[in-house]
Amino acid sequence: MKILTAEFIRSCVGSEQFPKGNLPEVAFVGRSNVGKSSLINSLLQRKGLAKVSRTPGKTRAVNVFSVVTDDTLLSRFLLIDLPGYGYAKVSKSVRAQWAPLIEQYLTQREQLRTVVLLVEGRVLGAQDRETIDWLSAIGCPPLVVATKVDKLRPSERVSALRRLEEGLGLDDRAPVIAYSSVTGEGRDRLWAALKQQRRT
Ligand SMILES: Nc1nc2c(ncn2[C@@H]2O[C@H](COP(=O)(O)OP(=O)(O)O)[C@@H](O)[C@H]2O)c(=O)[nH]1
Ligand SMILES: [Mg+2]
């Protein structure tokens, strides 16, 4: 699978700025600092495309990228980088502004093909299960990706991922995809899942 083009289109701070047209969309959600920007860069093989920020919670907009691949199953789509949620460092009033934007995006888009939820491979976040339940309830059951799996010791890896799947209530039909933006592990599996998956 070759990425022919991958480019930033725009940052949306209001729903009226969401893209027009009918290209399929793949949206990425996750807690701030979970490794979302790194994963997007790794997936698209473009180093600085999505900013990798050391300050958690900086991106509050819905960022739209346009992607063209050489694969007919997913040749042209929009990659949507949704703002991270759950920052301690962002004030309540700011949070109140952008949380509805995520919800508007997820509930309004007919073009939305897949929602990818990123969780940390090492730790089961308190909110992760709730987020899956919420996404499922609004009609967007997510594809779940465990990030930063290079940080798992080989001896703990299998049990850690199993614990994660159990904690998230995932079953064998929808196992977590183990990903590392450092080693590139999981990239092929994630692409395969994205090509396959269609929201029902
Ligand atoms: N070891 C390791 N660190 C990662 C990985 N992905 C991201 N990071 C680090 O985690 C931090 C947050 O990454 P970033 O992509 O900005 O997360 P975002 O806030 O979710 O967009 C940065 O310091 C990254 O270098 C990974 O796969 N492995
Ligand atoms: Mg980021």
User: How far, in Å, is the centroid of ligand 1 from the Cα of 180?
Assistant: 9
In short, whether 86's Cβ falls inside 6 Å of ligand 1 is: no
Domains and CATH numbers, the chain: 3-196 (3.40.50.300)
Low-confidence ranges of the chain (pLDDT < 70): 53-59, 86-98, 197-200
Q: What is the pTM of this model?
A: 0.92
In short, whether 36's Cβ falls inside 6 Å of ligand 1 is: yes
User: How far, in Å, is the centroid of ligand 2 from the Cα of 52?
Assistant: 5
DSSP string, the chain: --EEEEEEEEEESSGGGSPPS---EEEEEEBTTSSHHHHHHHHHT-TTSS---SSTT---SEEEEEEEES-GGGSEEEEEEPPPB--SSS-HHHHHHHHHHHHHHHHH-TTEEEEEEEEESS---TTHHHHHHHHHHTT-PPEEEEE-GGGS-HHHHHHHHHHHHHHHT--TTSPPEE--TTT-TTHHHHHHHHHH----
